[in-house]
């Protein structure tokens, strides 16, 4: 596009500077117009080969983590400057986490029955107040060894551990444990975030970001080019989605299946799974997606498989007819299949009869797991290429 604009401006300049007979100018002009037309045709043709993939889902469902993984897998990944740029994000994540826990402990100590277990030790209160104040700043300071030590002390307070176990009602980030276990490293003077740290870092996406890539390996030969869009998931961000809905090859819908006992960040009276259900229904009904494929990522399986033993699925209204069965791995599989079936039913209930033959696949994912994301994307790629061939009448 930019090069085309340059071409137009340059040619306009040449019209002004030279004195030519009119018929020559006309023929020059025609040649230029033809060149521009052919350039537009070339670019349009190239665009037609690009498959548009949209990552949709509620806030914190894992969209940006999948987006980062795709960058790592099929692009050059993160260079040192980009890794370094995550230092302040990770430090801010640490402060926010400890603030949520300390403030949460105070609240529980006031309002909960059996509240004594949430009372932080007297000598940790000063640290807590200080960290809570830092956590509320827009611009938090760099994490030093001294502060990291204080955070560890507070984290190990039994009242904070007790509060952490109630993370579901407090908006404690899923990566809290990871942040706390790595404080020592995060506070080193020459700390450079690792790829793993970047995947765990949480930045609330605003607006839209996109990347273009071609999956490496066998499919490279096929020349498939994907353009993947990542968007903000919170309610106030969703009005921006609609501008992207035209010409979408596939929607990758992320649903965090571990969030069945959690409340929304933007409305703490609303269960996250119920919000995801409504959002998925809304997306399915969009007329722009009548021919788009749907790839449903049932994400955060790693958290789900631990949680189902602790928190029964039927705490969520949508899953209230769930009957636990078996134990250990068997129980996890049973619970997962139940959730998967619920989404499947929702898909068919909300797809008009003429949409039923659009591709619909469900994948079990843990967005932090690079190998799994690679494998999953390979399957997505295969499905989409197959669709392509079917549409072209070749299959
Ligand atoms: N444990 C775990 N954490 C995840 C998973 N997917 C994403 N996260 C974390 O959840 C948080 C929110 O993820 P993000 O990709 O920003 O969600 P988005 O709002 O949908 O873009 C980040 O801290 C991620 O590291 C997952 O499958 N398992
Ligand atoms: Mg995001």
Instruction: Round the CA-based radius of gyration of the chain to a whole number and report it.
Output: 26
CA–CA distance, 195 with 37 (Å, rounded to integer): 44
Do both 233 and 372 map to the same domain? yes
* CATH code: domain of residue 183: 1.10.400.10
* Beta carbon of 64 within 6 Å of any ligand 1 atom: yes
- For position 39, what pLDDT does the model report? 72
Do both 250 and 179 map to the same domain? no
Contact 179, 167 (CB under 8 A): no
CA–CA distance, 167 with 5 (Å, rounded to integer): 53
Task: Convert the pLDDT of each residue in 204-226 to its tens digit.
Answer: 999 899 999 988 655 455 568 99
- For position 48, what pLDDT does the model report? 66
Considering Cα of 299, then 301, then 306, then 307, what sign does the dihedral take? positive
Nearest Cα residue to 237 out of 23, 59, 25, 27: 59
Ligand sitting nearest the alpha carbon of 63: 1
Is a pLDDT exceeding 60 seen at residue 9?
no
> Which of 64-68, 239-243, 387-391: highest mean pLDDT?
64-68
- Residue 110 has phi, psi (to 5 degrees) of -85, -40
Residue that is last in its domain, among 128, 158, 192: 192
Q: Is 383 a catalytic residue?
A: no
* Residue 146: inside a domain: yes
Can you give the three-state secondary structure of 76-109, one letter per residue?
CCCCHHHHHHCHHHHHHHHHHHHHHHHHHHHHHH
Is a pLDDT exceeding 90 seen at residue 144?
yes
Contact 260, 316 (CB under 8 A): yes
Task: Convert the pLDDT of each residue in 13-67 to its tens digit.
Answer: 333 334 456 566 677 778 888 887 777 666 666 666 799 999 999 999 999 999 9
- For position 163, what pLDDT does the model report? 96
List, in sequence order, every residue forming a beta bridge with 209; answer none if it has no partner.
230
Task: Convert the pLDDT of each residue in 257-301 to its tens digit.
Answer: 999 999 998 898 999 999 999 999 999 999 999 989 999 999 999
Q: Is 60 a catalytic residue?
A: yes
Task: Convert the pLDDT of each residue in 154-177 to its tens digit.
Answer: 999 999 999 999 888 899 999 999
Given 230, 275, 305, 381, which residue is catalytic? Answer: 230
Number of domains in the chain: 2
Domain range enclosing 292: 55-78+204-388
The whole model's pTM is what? 0.87
- For position 8, what pLDDT does the model report? 34
Residues annotated as binding site for GTP? Answer: 60-65, 199-205, 230-234, 299-302, 367
* CATH code: domain of residue 249: 3.40.50.300
CA 380 to ligand 2 centroid distance, Å: 20
Q: Is 71 a catalytic residue?
A: no
* Residue 211: inside a domain: yes
Q: Which atom of ligand 1 is nearest to the CA of 55?
A: 20
Q: Is 281 a catalytic residue?
A: no
């Amino acid at each position: 596009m930019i090069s085309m604009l340059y071409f137009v401006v340059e040619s306009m300049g040449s019209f002004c500077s030279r004195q030519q007979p009119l018929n020559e100018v006309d023929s020059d002009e025609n040649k230029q117009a033809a060149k521009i037309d052919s350039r537009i045709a070339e670019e349009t043709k190239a665009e037609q080969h690009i498959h548009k993939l949209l990552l949709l889902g509620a806030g914190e469902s894992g969209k940006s983590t999948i987006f980062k993984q795709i960058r790592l897998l099929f692009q050059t990944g993160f260079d040192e400057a980009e890794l370094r740029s995550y230092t302040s994000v990770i430090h801010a994540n640490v402060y926010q986490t400890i603030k949520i826990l300390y403030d949460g402990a105070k609240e529980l100590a006031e309002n909960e029955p059996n509240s004594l277990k949430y009372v932080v030790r007297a000598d940790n209160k000063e640290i807590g107040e200080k960290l809570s104040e830092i956590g509320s700043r827009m611009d938090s300071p760099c994490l030093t060894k001294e502060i990291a030590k204080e955070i560890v002390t507070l984290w190990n307070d039994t009242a904070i551990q007790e509060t952490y176990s109630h993370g579901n009602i407090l908006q404690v980030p899923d990566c809290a444990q990871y942040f706390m276990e790595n404080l020592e490293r995060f506070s080193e003077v020459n700390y450079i975030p690792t790829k793993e740290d970047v995947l765990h870092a949480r930045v609330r996406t605003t607006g839209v970001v996109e990347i273009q890539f071609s999956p490496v390996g066998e499919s490279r030969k096929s020349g498939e080019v994907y353009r993947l869009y990542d968007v903000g998931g919170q309610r106030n961000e969703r009005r921006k989605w609609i501008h992207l809905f035209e010409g979408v090859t596939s929607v990758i819908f992320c649903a965090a299946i571990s969030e069945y006992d959690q409340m929304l960040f933007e409305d703490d009276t609303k269960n996250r799974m119920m919000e995801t259900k409504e959002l998925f229904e809304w997306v399915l009904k969009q007329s722009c997606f009548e021919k788009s494929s749907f790839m449903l990522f049932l994400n955060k399986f790693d958290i789900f498989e631990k949680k189902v033993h602790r928190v029964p699925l039927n705490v969520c209204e949508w899953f209230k007819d769930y009957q636990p069965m078996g134990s250990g791995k068997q129980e996890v599989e049973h619970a997962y299949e139940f959730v998967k079936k619920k989404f499947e039913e929702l898909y068919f209930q909300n797809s008009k009869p003429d949409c039923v033959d659009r591709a619909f696949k469900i994948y079990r994912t843990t967005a932090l797991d690079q190998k799994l994301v690679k494998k999953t994307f390979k399957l997505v790629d295969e499905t989409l290429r197959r669709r392509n061939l079917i549409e072209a009448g070749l299959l």
